[in-house]
Homo-oligomer: A and B are copies of this chain.
Amino acid sequence: MNEQLRRAPSPDLLPRFTAIVGDKYAITDPVALEPFLVEGRGLYHGRSSMLLRPGSVGEVQAILKLANETKTPLVPQGGNTGLVGGQIPFDGELILSLTRLDKIREVDPASNAMTCEAGVVLAKAQEAAAAVDRLFPLSLGAEGSCTIGGNLSTNAGGTGAVAYGIARDLVLGLEVVLANGRMMNLLSKLKKNNTGYDLRHIFVGAEGTLGIITAAAVKLFPRPRAVETAFIAVPSPATAVKLLNLAQARVGGTVTSFELIVRDVVEFAIKHAHGVRDPLASRHPWYVLMEVSSQHRDGLRESVEQLLTDGSAQGFVEDATIASSLDQAKALWHMRHVLPEVQKPEGGSIKADVSVPVAAVPQFLEEASAAAKAIIPGCRPVPFGHLGDGNVHFNVSQPIGADTAQFLARWGQVNDAVNKIVLKYNGSISAEHGIGKLKRDSLPKVKDPVALELMRGLKRMLDPNGILNPGKVL
Protein backbone atom coordinates (compact mmCIF):
# COMPACT_ATOMS: atom_id res chain seq x y z
CA MET A 1 0.00 0.00 0.00
CA ASN A 2 1.10 3.53 -0.73
CA GLU A 3 2.89 4.91 2.34
CA GLN A 4 0.90 8.13 2.14
CA LEU A 5 -2.34 6.20 2.32
CA ARG A 6 -1.52 3.71 5.03
CA ARG A 7 -3.99 5.33 7.39
CA ALA A 8 -6.77 5.60 4.81
CA PRO A 9 -10.07 3.93 5.71
CA SER A 10 -11.19 0.93 3.75
CA PRO A 11 -13.59 2.17 1.04
CA ASP A 12 -16.53 0.14 2.34
CA LEU A 13 -16.47 2.19 5.54
CA LEU A 14 -17.03 5.51 3.83
CA PRO A 15 -20.81 5.09 3.37
CA ARG A 16 -21.15 4.46 7.09
CA PHE A 17 -19.46 7.77 7.86
CA THR A 18 -21.49 9.50 5.15
CA ALA A 19 -24.68 8.22 6.72
CA ILE A 20 -23.86 10.12 9.92
CA VAL A 21 -23.53 13.59 8.39
CA GLY A 22 -25.50 13.18 5.16
CA ASP A 23 -24.22 13.28 1.57
CA LYS A 24 -23.93 17.03 1.47
CA TYR A 25 -21.48 17.12 4.34
CA ALA A 26 -19.28 14.17 3.39
CA ILE A 27 -16.94 15.69 0.80
CA THR A 28 -15.19 13.26 -1.52
CA ASP A 29 -14.79 15.30 -4.71
CA PRO A 30 -11.03 15.86 -5.13
CA VAL A 31 -11.47 19.47 -6.26
CA ALA A 32 -13.65 20.31 -3.28
CA LEU A 33 -11.25 18.46 -0.98
CA GLU A 34 -8.10 20.18 -2.20
CA PRO A 35 -8.30 23.35 -0.02
CA PHE A 36 -8.44 21.16 3.09
CA LEU A 37 -5.31 19.22 2.11
CA VAL A 38 -2.84 22.08 1.79
CA GLU A 39 -1.77 24.57 4.40
CA GLY A 40 -1.58 28.30 3.68
CA ARG A 41 2.09 28.62 2.80
CA GLY A 42 2.01 25.46 0.69
CA LEU A 43 4.58 23.79 2.94
CA TYR A 44 2.42 20.71 3.49
CA HIS A 45 0.23 18.78 1.13
CA GLY A 46 -1.81 15.87 2.44
CA ARG A 47 -4.14 13.25 1.02
CA SER A 48 -7.57 12.13 2.06
CA SER A 49 -10.56 10.44 0.51
CA MET A 50 -13.21 12.17 2.61
CA LEU A 51 -13.87 15.24 4.70
CA LEU A 52 -16.68 15.04 7.23
CA ARG A 53 -18.53 18.14 8.34
CA PRO A 54 -20.71 17.21 11.30
CA GLY A 55 -23.44 19.68 12.20
CA SER A 56 -23.86 18.76 15.84
CA VAL A 57 -21.96 17.42 18.81
CA GLY A 58 -24.04 14.25 18.47
CA GLU A 59 -22.71 13.75 14.97
CA VAL A 60 -19.14 14.26 16.19
CA GLN A 61 -19.80 11.60 18.82
CA ALA A 62 -21.21 9.18 16.22
CA ILE A 63 -18.23 9.74 13.91
CA LEU A 64 -15.72 9.08 16.70
CA LYS A 65 -17.59 6.03 17.91
CA LEU A 66 -17.54 4.52 14.44
CA ALA A 67 -13.94 5.55 13.86
CA ASN A 68 -12.90 4.00 17.15
CA GLU A 69 -14.74 0.75 16.52
CA THR A 70 -13.32 0.45 13.02
CA LYS A 71 -9.88 1.86 13.94
CA THR A 72 -10.23 4.59 11.34
CA PRO A 73 -7.82 7.49 11.93
CA LEU A 74 -9.13 11.05 11.76
CA VAL A 75 -7.44 14.42 11.46
CA PRO A 76 -9.45 17.20 13.12
CA GLN A 77 -9.40 20.54 11.35
CA GLY A 78 -10.65 24.05 12.13
CA GLY A 79 -9.70 27.01 9.95
CA ASN A 80 -6.67 25.19 8.50
CA THR A 81 -4.28 27.95 9.55
CA GLY A 82 -1.86 25.92 11.69
CA LEU A 83 1.84 26.40 11.01
CA VAL A 84 3.25 23.00 11.99
CA GLY A 85 1.14 20.65 9.85
CA GLY A 86 -1.07 19.47 12.71
CA GLN A 87 -4.27 19.86 10.66
CA ILE A 88 -3.06 18.04 7.52
CA PRO A 89 -3.93 14.38 6.74
CA PHE A 90 -0.53 13.15 5.63
CA ASP A 91 -1.41 9.50 5.37
CA GLY A 92 -4.88 9.38 3.86
CA GLU A 93 -6.78 9.88 7.12
CA LEU A 94 -10.36 11.12 7.08
CA ILE A 95 -10.65 14.83 7.86
CA LEU A 96 -13.01 15.84 10.65
CA SER A 97 -13.91 19.47 10.05
CA LEU A 98 -15.48 21.30 12.98
CA THR A 99 -16.45 24.43 11.04
CA ARG A 100 -20.20 23.75 11.06
CA LEU A 101 -20.23 23.81 14.85
CA ASP A 102 -20.24 27.58 14.68
CA LYS A 103 -22.81 28.66 17.25
CA ILE A 104 -22.04 31.13 19.98
CA ARG A 105 -24.15 29.41 22.58
CA GLU A 106 -24.15 32.15 25.17
CA VAL A 107 -22.65 35.54 25.92
CA ASP A 108 -22.82 36.46 29.60
CA PRO A 109 -21.25 39.90 30.05
CA ALA A 110 -22.07 40.17 33.76
CA SER A 111 -20.12 36.95 34.40
CA ASN A 112 -17.48 37.93 31.83
CA ALA A 113 -17.94 34.62 30.02
CA MET A 114 -18.91 33.43 26.55
CA THR A 115 -19.58 29.90 25.31
CA CYS A 116 -18.55 29.20 21.72
CA GLU A 117 -18.61 26.05 19.65
CA ALA A 118 -15.34 24.87 18.17
CA GLY A 119 -16.02 26.15 14.66
CA VAL A 120 -16.63 29.77 15.63
CA VAL A 121 -14.13 31.93 13.75
CA LEU A 122 -11.95 33.93 16.14
CA ALA A 123 -12.95 37.29 14.64
CA LYS A 124 -16.64 36.41 15.16
CA ALA A 125 -15.95 35.62 18.79
CA GLN A 126 -14.20 38.98 19.16
CA GLU A 127 -17.20 40.71 17.57
CA ALA A 128 -19.69 38.93 19.82
CA ALA A 129 -17.76 40.13 22.85
CA ALA A 130 -17.53 43.70 21.53
CA ALA A 131 -21.29 43.71 20.94
CA VAL A 132 -21.82 43.49 24.70
CA ASP A 133 -19.03 45.96 25.48
CA ARG A 134 -16.49 43.28 26.35
CA LEU A 135 -13.12 42.21 25.02
CA PHE A 136 -12.17 38.70 23.95
CA PRO A 137 -8.44 39.39 23.90
CA LEU A 138 -7.06 36.53 21.80
CA SER A 139 -5.71 38.20 18.67
CA LEU A 140 -3.49 36.85 15.93
CA GLY A 141 -2.79 37.24 12.24
CA ALA A 142 -5.14 34.44 11.18
CA GLU A 143 -8.09 35.67 13.25
CA GLY A 144 -10.30 36.11 10.17
CA SER A 145 -10.25 32.38 9.45
CA CYS A 146 -8.89 30.42 12.40
CA THR A 147 -11.42 28.90 14.80
CA ILE A 148 -11.82 28.76 18.57
CA GLY A 149 -11.43 24.98 18.50
CA GLY A 150 -8.15 25.28 16.62
CA ASN A 151 -6.98 28.13 18.83
CA LEU A 152 -7.51 26.00 21.93
CA SER A 153 -6.18 22.78 20.44
CA THR A 154 -2.96 24.56 19.51
CA ASN A 155 -2.95 26.84 22.58
CA ALA A 156 -2.51 29.92 20.40
CA GLY A 157 -0.56 32.96 21.60
CA GLY A 158 -0.71 36.22 19.66
CA THR A 159 -0.04 39.85 20.45
CA GLY A 160 -2.25 40.29 23.53
CA ALA A 161 -0.74 37.47 25.55
CA VAL A 162 1.56 39.70 27.61
CA ALA A 163 -1.50 41.12 29.38
CA TYR A 164 -4.30 38.61 28.91
CA GLY A 165 -2.45 35.31 28.59
CA ILE A 166 -2.41 32.66 25.90
CA ALA A 167 -5.42 30.63 24.74
CA ARG A 168 -5.05 28.22 27.68
CA ASP A 169 -5.40 31.08 30.14
CA LEU A 170 -8.68 32.18 28.58
CA VAL A 171 -10.49 28.86 29.01
CA LEU A 172 -13.11 28.55 31.73
CA GLY A 173 -14.79 25.37 30.54
CA LEU A 174 -14.59 22.77 27.79
CA GLU A 175 -16.80 20.26 26.06
CA VAL A 176 -14.77 17.38 24.65
CA VAL A 177 -15.71 14.29 22.69
CA LEU A 178 -13.38 11.45 23.56
CA ALA A 179 -12.02 8.86 21.13
CA ASN A 180 -14.73 6.40 22.12
CA GLY A 181 -17.45 8.89 21.22
CA ARG A 182 -18.39 9.78 24.78
CA MET A 183 -18.90 13.44 25.51
CA MET A 184 -17.31 15.02 28.55
CA ASN A 185 -19.05 18.12 29.80
CA LEU A 186 -16.64 20.46 31.56
CA LEU A 187 -18.49 23.52 30.27
CA SER A 188 -18.36 25.58 33.42
CA LYS A 189 -18.27 29.38 33.43
CA LEU A 190 -16.74 29.38 36.88
CA LYS A 191 -13.51 31.10 37.76
CA LYS A 192 -13.05 28.87 40.77
CA ASN A 193 -13.91 25.21 40.76
CA ASN A 194 -11.89 22.81 42.89
CA THR A 195 -13.90 19.67 42.40
CA GLY A 196 -11.30 17.13 41.41
CA TYR A 197 -8.56 17.02 38.79
CA ASP A 198 -8.41 19.72 36.17
CA LEU A 199 -9.02 17.84 32.94
CA ARG A 200 -9.34 20.86 30.65
CA HIS A 201 -5.65 21.44 30.24
CA ILE A 202 -5.04 17.90 29.04
CA PHE A 203 -6.95 18.81 25.87
CA VAL A 204 -5.92 22.43 25.41
CA GLY A 205 -2.74 22.37 23.31
CA ALA A 206 -2.98 18.64 22.56
CA GLU A 207 -3.51 19.37 18.86
CA GLY A 208 -6.49 17.04 18.60
CA THR A 209 -4.53 13.94 19.59
CA LEU A 210 -6.37 13.23 22.86
CA GLY A 211 -9.96 14.28 22.16
CA ILE A 212 -12.04 16.64 20.06
CA ILE A 213 -12.91 19.99 21.62
CA THR A 214 -16.47 20.78 20.51
CA ALA A 215 -17.16 23.88 22.61
CA ALA A 216 -15.52 26.13 25.17
CA ALA A 217 -16.53 28.69 27.75
CA VAL A 218 -13.98 31.50 27.52
CA LYS A 219 -13.19 34.56 29.59
CA LEU A 220 -14.24 38.04 28.59
CA PHE A 221 -12.68 41.28 29.82
CA PRO A 222 -13.82 44.88 30.06
CA ARG A 223 -13.05 46.78 26.86
CA PRO A 224 -10.27 49.32 27.34
CA ARG A 225 -11.51 52.93 27.26
CA ALA A 226 -8.14 54.36 26.27
CA VAL A 227 -5.36 52.81 24.19
CA GLU A 228 -1.99 54.35 23.36
CA THR A 229 0.41 52.94 20.79
CA ALA A 230 4.06 53.93 20.77
CA PHE A 231 6.93 53.10 18.44
CA ILE A 232 10.14 53.34 20.40
CA ALA A 233 13.75 53.17 19.31
CA VAL A 234 15.93 51.35 21.84
CA PRO A 235 19.69 50.81 21.82
CA SER A 236 19.54 47.05 22.37
CA PRO A 237 17.35 44.10 23.39
CA ALA A 238 18.76 44.44 26.92
CA THR A 239 17.43 47.99 27.20
CA ALA A 240 14.13 46.81 25.71
CA VAL A 241 13.79 44.36 28.62
CA LYS A 242 14.52 47.19 31.06
CA LEU A 243 11.94 49.39 29.34
CA LEU A 244 9.41 46.56 29.53
CA ASN A 245 9.99 46.23 33.26
CA LEU A 246 9.73 49.99 33.72
CA ALA A 247 6.53 50.13 31.68
CA GLN A 248 4.91 47.28 33.58
CA ALA A 249 5.90 48.86 36.88
CA ARG A 250 5.03 52.48 36.21
CA VAL A 251 2.57 53.10 33.41
CA GLY A 252 -0.96 54.09 34.38
CA GLY A 253 -2.59 51.22 32.53
CA THR A 254 -1.83 47.74 31.31
CA VAL A 255 0.95 46.92 28.85
CA THR A 256 -1.17 44.99 26.33
CA SER A 257 1.56 44.52 23.69
CA PHE A 258 5.32 44.78 23.75
CA GLU A 259 6.87 43.72 20.45
CA LEU A 260 10.62 43.81 19.85
CA ILE A 261 11.69 44.41 16.23
CA VAL A 262 15.17 44.54 14.72
CA ARG A 263 16.00 47.38 12.30
CA ASP A 264 16.78 45.08 9.35
CA VAL A 265 13.24 43.73 9.15
CA VAL A 266 11.82 47.25 9.43
CA GLU A 267 13.91 48.03 6.34
CA PHE A 268 12.41 45.01 4.59
CA ALA A 269 8.97 46.42 5.41
CA ILE A 270 9.81 49.90 4.15
CA LYS A 271 11.26 48.42 0.95
CA HIS A 272 8.61 45.78 0.15
CA ALA A 273 5.31 46.59 1.84
CA HIS A 274 2.80 49.04 0.49
CA GLY A 275 2.32 52.17 2.57
CA VAL A 276 5.01 51.53 5.17
CA ARG A 277 7.20 54.49 6.08
CA ASP A 278 9.98 54.79 8.59
CA PRO A 279 8.15 55.97 11.72
CA LEU A 280 11.18 57.82 13.11
CA ALA A 281 13.48 60.41 11.55
CA SER A 282 16.72 58.49 11.91
CA ARG A 283 17.78 54.85 12.02
CA HIS A 284 18.10 52.88 15.22
CA PRO A 285 19.24 49.29 15.77
CA TRP A 286 16.13 48.03 17.59
CA TYR A 287 12.53 49.06 18.12
CA VAL A 288 9.68 48.33 20.45
CA LEU A 289 6.04 48.54 19.38
CA MET A 290 4.20 49.06 22.66
CA GLU A 291 0.49 49.23 23.28
CA VAL A 292 -0.87 50.35 26.64
CA SER A 293 -4.55 50.16 27.58
CA SER A 294 -6.62 51.58 30.39
CA GLN A 295 -10.18 51.47 31.64
CA HIS A 296 -9.88 55.14 32.46
CA ARG A 297 -10.36 57.56 29.59
CA ASP A 298 -8.04 60.26 30.87
CA GLY A 299 -4.35 60.50 31.59
CA LEU A 300 -2.99 57.50 29.73
CA ARG A 301 -1.16 59.51 27.08
CA GLU A 302 0.52 61.66 29.74
CA SER A 303 1.52 58.51 31.56
CA VAL A 304 3.10 57.02 28.42
CA GLU A 305 4.89 60.31 27.77
CA GLN A 306 6.26 60.26 31.30
CA LEU A 307 7.42 56.68 30.81
CA LEU A 308 9.29 57.64 27.65
CA THR A 309 10.86 60.63 29.38
CA ASP A 310 11.95 58.45 32.30
CA GLY A 311 13.13 55.72 29.92
CA SER A 312 15.13 58.26 27.96
CA ALA A 313 16.75 59.63 31.10
CA GLN A 314 17.83 56.10 32.00
CA GLY A 315 19.21 55.44 28.52
CA PHE A 316 16.52 52.92 27.51
CA VAL A 317 14.95 55.11 24.82
CA GLU A 318 16.72 56.74 21.86
CA ASP A 319 13.66 58.20 20.19
CA ALA A 320 9.92 57.52 20.13
CA THR A 321 6.61 58.47 18.63
CA ILE A 322 3.16 58.01 20.14
CA ALA A 323 0.36 57.54 17.62
CA SER A 324 -1.82 60.63 17.70
CA SER A 325 -4.76 59.04 15.90
CA LEU A 326 -6.31 55.66 15.36
CA ASP A 327 -4.97 55.76 11.79
CA GLN A 328 -1.43 56.31 12.99
CA ALA A 329 -1.80 53.44 15.45
CA LYS A 330 -3.12 51.24 12.65
CA ALA A 331 -0.16 52.18 10.45
CA LEU A 332 2.27 51.10 13.18
CA TRP A 333 0.44 47.79 13.63
CA HIS A 334 0.30 47.34 9.86
CA MET A 335 4.08 47.45 9.79
CA ARG A 336 4.22 44.83 12.53
CA HIS A 337 1.77 42.57 10.73
CA VAL A 338 3.61 42.62 7.37
CA LEU A 339 6.88 41.44 8.93
CA PRO A 340 6.33 37.75 8.09
CA GLU A 341 5.43 38.72 4.51
CA VAL A 342 8.27 41.15 3.72
CA GLN A 343 10.93 38.52 4.30
CA LYS A 344 9.86 36.70 1.15
CA PRO A 345 11.27 39.18 -1.43
CA GLU A 346 14.61 38.91 0.39
CA GLY A 347 14.90 35.23 -0.56
CA GLY A 348 14.92 32.13 1.60
CA SER A 349 14.09 32.37 5.29
CA ILE A 350 14.89 29.84 7.98
CA LYS A 351 12.36 30.24 10.81
CA ALA A 352 12.17 29.36 14.47
CA ASP A 353 9.35 30.11 16.91
CA VAL A 354 11.06 29.94 20.26
CA SER A 355 10.81 31.32 23.76
CA VAL A 356 13.23 31.86 26.60
CA PRO A 357 12.75 33.57 29.97
CA VAL A 358 12.29 37.29 29.27
CA ALA A 359 15.54 38.22 30.98
CA ALA A 360 17.47 35.80 28.75
CA VAL A 361 16.19 37.19 25.45
CA PRO A 362 19.16 39.56 24.91
CA GLN A 363 21.80 36.83 25.38
CA PHE A 364 19.77 34.41 23.33
CA LEU A 365 19.55 36.86 20.43
CA GLU A 366 23.24 37.57 20.52
CA GLU A 367 24.29 33.94 20.62
CA ALA A 368 21.71 32.69 18.14
CA SER A 369 22.69 35.39 15.63
CA ALA A 370 26.35 34.55 16.03
CA ALA A 371 25.62 30.85 15.60
CA ALA A 372 23.61 31.42 12.42
CA LYS A 373 26.32 33.65 10.97
CA ALA A 374 28.99 31.11 11.81
CA ILE A 375 27.11 28.44 9.89
CA ILE A 376 26.15 30.67 6.96
CA PRO A 377 28.42 33.71 6.67
CA GLY A 378 26.51 36.71 5.37
CA CYS A 379 23.09 35.46 6.47
CA ARG A 380 20.78 38.06 7.99
CA PRO A 381 19.03 37.24 11.27
CA VAL A 382 15.83 39.29 11.48
CA PRO A 383 14.33 38.50 14.89
CA PHE A 384 11.09 40.06 16.05
CA GLY A 385 8.26 39.04 18.34
CA HIS A 386 6.53 39.16 21.66
CA LEU A 387 9.25 40.27 24.07
CA GLY A 388 6.70 40.53 26.88
CA ASP A 389 6.35 36.74 26.69
CA GLY A 390 10.00 35.97 25.89
CA ASN A 391 8.70 34.69 22.56
CA VAL A 392 10.95 35.52 19.60
CA HIS A 393 10.38 34.60 16.00
CA PHE A 394 14.04 34.01 15.23
CA ASN A 395 14.01 34.16 11.45
CA VAL A 396 17.14 34.21 9.32
CA SER A 397 17.13 35.60 5.77
CA GLN A 398 19.61 34.30 3.24
CA PRO A 399 22.78 36.22 2.34
CA ILE A 400 22.17 38.76 -0.42
CA GLY A 401 22.57 37.05 -3.78
CA ALA A 402 22.95 33.55 -2.32
CA ASP A 403 21.31 30.47 -3.80
CA THR A 404 17.97 30.03 -2.03
CA ALA A 405 17.78 26.25 -2.27
CA GLN A 406 21.32 25.85 -0.96
CA PHE A 407 20.48 28.20 1.90
CA LEU A 408 17.25 26.42 2.81
CA ALA A 409 19.04 23.07 2.72
CA ARG A 410 20.78 24.17 5.91
CA TRP A 411 17.48 24.75 7.79
CA GLY A 412 18.06 21.73 10.01
CA GLN A 413 21.62 22.72 10.83
CA VAL A 414 20.65 26.29 11.74
CA ASN A 415 17.63 25.08 13.73
CA ASP A 416 19.75 22.62 15.68
CA ALA A 417 22.20 25.36 16.59
CA VAL A 418 19.40 27.75 17.59
CA ASN A 419 17.60 25.08 19.61
CA LYS A 420 20.80 24.29 21.45
CA ILE A 421 20.97 27.90 22.63
CA VAL A 422 17.24 27.85 23.43
CA LEU A 423 17.77 24.84 25.68
CA LYS A 424 20.79 26.40 27.33
CA TYR A 425 18.43 29.14 28.59
CA ASN A 426 15.72 26.62 29.52
CA GLY A 427 13.62 27.85 26.64
CA SER A 428 11.07 26.24 24.39
CA ILE A 429 11.56 25.12 20.78
CA SER A 430 7.89 25.81 20.14
CA ALA A 431 6.57 28.85 21.92
CA GLU A 432 3.19 29.28 20.30
CA HIS A 433 2.87 27.21 17.11
CA GLY A 434 2.87 23.72 18.59
CA ILE A 435 4.55 20.48 17.59
CA GLY A 436 2.31 19.04 14.85
CA LYS A 437 4.30 17.10 12.34
CA LEU A 438 7.05 19.69 11.86
CA LYS A 439 8.64 19.33 15.28
CA ARG A 440 7.52 15.84 16.21
CA ASP A 441 10.94 14.32 15.78
CA SER A 442 12.56 17.11 17.78
CA LEU A 443 10.28 16.69 20.79
CA PRO A 444 12.05 13.65 22.32
CA LYS A 445 15.32 15.57 22.17
CA VAL A 446 14.04 18.45 24.30
CA LYS A 447 11.37 16.99 26.56
CA ASP A 448 12.03 15.60 30.00
CA PRO A 449 11.96 11.81 29.50
CA VAL A 450 9.59 11.23 32.42
CA ALA A 451 7.23 13.85 30.96
CA LEU A 452 7.43 12.21 27.56
CA GLU A 453 6.53 8.88 29.09
CA LEU A 454 3.56 10.44 30.85
CA MET A 455 2.46 12.04 27.57
CA ARG A 456 2.55 8.60 25.94
CA GLY A 457 0.56 7.19 28.84
CA LEU A 458 -2.11 9.84 28.36
CA LYS A 459 -2.26 9.08 24.66
CA ARG A 460 -2.65 5.35 25.31
CA MET A 461 -5.33 5.94 27.92
CA LEU A 462 -7.38 8.43 25.92
CA ASP A 463 -6.88 7.05 22.43
CA PRO A 464 -6.03 3.35 22.73
CA ASN A 465 -6.74 2.68 19.05
CA GLY A 466 -4.68 5.63 17.87
CA ILE A 467 -7.43 7.19 15.79
CA LEU A 468 -6.94 10.82 16.83
CA ASN A 469 -4.54 12.76 14.60
CA PRO A 470 -1.94 9.98 14.42
CA GLY A 471 1.66 10.93 13.80
CA LYS A 472 1.24 14.37 15.32
CA VAL A 473 2.91 15.55 18.53
CA LEU A 474 4.00 12.03 19.59
Contact = CB atoms under 8 A, between A and B. Distances in A.
Interface of A: 108-113, 133, 154-155, 157, 161-162, 166, 168-169, 178, 182-202, 204-206, 210, 222-223, 225, 241-242, 245, 248-254, 294-296, 298-299, 303, 355-360, 386, 389-391, 426-435, 439, 443, 446-448, 450-452, 454-455, 457-458, 461-462, 473-474
A443 B182 contact: no
Contact of A426 (B110, B133, B189, B457): B189
A198 B205 CA distance: 7
A299 B195 CA distance: 41
B390 A111 contact: yes
B457 A461 contact: yes
A429 B195 contact: yes
Contacts of A210: 197
A391 B204 contact: no
A446 B195 contact: yes
Contact of A451 (B186, B248, B299, B431): B186
Nearest to A460: B461
> How many copies of this kind of chain does the complex include?
2
A29 to B, nearest CB: 34
Contacts of A166: 191-192
Contacts of A457: 461
B426 A188 contact: yes
A439 B253 CA distance: 41
Contact of A358 (B112, B253, B429, B455): B112
A71 B391 CA distance: 44
A450 B206 CA distance: 19
Contacts of A200: 201
A260 B419 CA distance: 50
Given A201-B200, A225-B250, A390-B190, A195 B428 contact: yes
B196 A250 contact: no
Given A191-B390, A202-B197, A389-B192, A359 B111 contact: yes
A359 B107 CA distance: 12
B431 A295 contact: no
B184 A454 contact: yes
A192 B355 contact: yes
Nearest to A459: B197
Contact of A252 (B191, B250, B296): B296
B196 A447 contact: yes
B198 A202 contact: yes
Contact of A185 (B161, B359, B448): B448
Contacts of A188: 426, 428
Contacts of A431: 190, 192-194
Of listed A182, A186, A295, A473, residue having the most chain B CB within 10 A:
A295
A389 B198 contact: no
A355 B252 contact: no
Nearest to A211: B454
Contacts of A447: 195-196
A198 B194 contact: no
Nearest to A162: B191
A451 B192 contact: no
B205 A252 contact: no
A140 to B, nearest CB: 12
4 A-B pairs with least C-beta separation: A252-B296, A110-B359, A201-B201, A193-B428
6 contacts: A182-B450, A190-B355, A190-B357, A192-B389, A196-B452, A197-B458
A357 B111 contact: yes
Contacts of A443: 195-196
A386 B113 CA distance: 17
